[in-house]
Amino acid sequence: MATLAGNLLTLNDWAKRRDPDGKTSAIIETLSESNMILEDMLYKEGNLPTGEQTTIRTGLPTTYYRLTNQGIPKSKSTTAQIVEQCAELVALSEVDETIAKLEGDLGQFRLSESVPFLEAMSQQMAQTLFYGSAANPEEFVGFANRYNDLSATNAQNILSAGGSGSDNSSIWLVGWGAKSCFGVFPKGSAAGIIHKDHGLDWAFDSSNDRFEAYIDSYKWCNGLVVKDWRYAVRIPNVDISDLIGLTGTQALSASTSIIKLMSRAIDRLPSTAGVNLAFYVNRTVASHLKIIALEKSNSALSIESALDQFGREIQMMRFLGVPVRIVDQLTETEAAVS
């Protein structure tokens, strides 16, 4: 007898989505997250079917002082080409025709099932933006694996907050722009999540036997381009225990206090002109930034009225004029960067 796989919607699942009157429940999305980096990230079409090839300057020509009657040695600049690959994030939904038709409004039922798929893809995208690794060839490389070595060329943009335990997090400052950091989608494709309604078609159970199901597929082809590494700054090794207690590495008087490092991070950028700046922090760090502001009565931190992407009024925190944005996918279990 065929056994349905656990990733298919069952009659039991359907029953759990009913109100006492038999109508579809309004599902409370308790698993939804705030990953504001997805609202800020700028996108452009890549110049390759697989992503984006960029050319960066790696060395300047040598210049000389000369005396009269003395020749001038030749010199030149050097460049390097880097290819940033896109990744294909996908998902597939299959709902047995019998279950789907139990609904009075088939379209509304299928729409409600799409919501968690879009949320899951958004969370995965935000996670990969920071923690994507070349060790996983199906992913693109995220920020954390580009800024993870205090002796690397880009180490001047890694400002350690002093933590060394197992409860570390990072604060990020990113300047989004066409010549700095941006998202990319393959040449000739479309930006954003592509949803395809396959309608009623044959699906297969775990024994490879057929059944009719309503099928939806989701695809998001994207990548991250760091064209100029100077426009991203990482503050790693933020010890969460110290931050909560405002002690040790996060005492207000400590040189590694996040409030001081965030100020230094802004100064690491070559320029703030022509880029969209934002700090990215997790919810714990955002909460304690507000507490620090109360402790210090610090006008460097402010809470201001703003509009979100849907035109709704929200309260936005800013540090020295730069928006501070919450990303729930930034973890509190990062390994110490050394």
Condensed to tens digits (0 to 9), the pLDDT of residues 9-26 reads 443 554 445 444 445 444
Helix (H, G, I), strand (E, B) or coil at 267: helix
For residue 29, the model assigns a pLDDT of 43
For tokens 């002093």, the residue is 162
- Least confident window among 157-161, 233-237, 290-294: 290-294
- pLDDT bracket for residue 83 (50, 70, 90): confident
Helix (H, G, I), strand (E, B) or coil at 84: strand
Average pLDDT, stretch 268-276? 93
- pLDDT bracket for residue 113 (50, 70, 90): confident
Q: Which residues contact 16 (CB under 8 A, 6 or more apart)?
A: none
- Least confident window among 4-18, 104-118, 179-193: 4-18
Is the pLDDT at 299 greater than 60, yes or no? Answer: yes
List 175's β-bridge partners, or say none. 277
| pLDDT above 70 coverage of the chain, percent | 85
Check residues 5 and 208 and name the one with the higher pLDDT: 208
- Least confident window among 46-50, 59-63, 228-232: 59-63
Q: Which residues contact 46 (CB under 8 A, 6 or more apart)?
A: 52, 84, 86, 184, 185, 186, 187, 223
* Conformation bin of residue 297: beta by default, left when phi > 0, alpha when psi is -120 to 50: left
CB 176: neighbour CB atoms within 10 A? 19
For residue 32, the model assigns a pLDDT of 60
- Least confident window among 19-23, 37-41, 239-243, 295-299: 19-23
- pLDDT bracket for residue 305 (50, 70, 90): low
Average pLDDT, stretch 290-317? 67
For residue 307, the model assigns a pLDDT of 59
Evaluate whether 22 touches 105 at the Cβ level (below 8 Å): no
- pLDDT bracket for residue 90 (50, 70, 90): very high
- pLDDT bracket for residue 63 (50, 70, 90): confident
Average pLDDT, stretch 72-96? 88
Taking the CA atoms of residue 66, residue 68, residue 71 and residue 76 in that order, the dihedral angle to the nearest 10 degrees is 30
Averaged confidence pLDDT in the chain? 85
| pLDDT above 90 coverage of the chain, percent | 53
Q: What span, in angstroms and rounded, lies between the C-alpha atoms of 146 and 140?
A: 11
Is the pLDDT at 316 greater than 90, yes or no? Answer: no
Average pLDDT, stretch 198-209? 91
- Helices 283-296 and 258-268, packing angle to 10 deg: 100
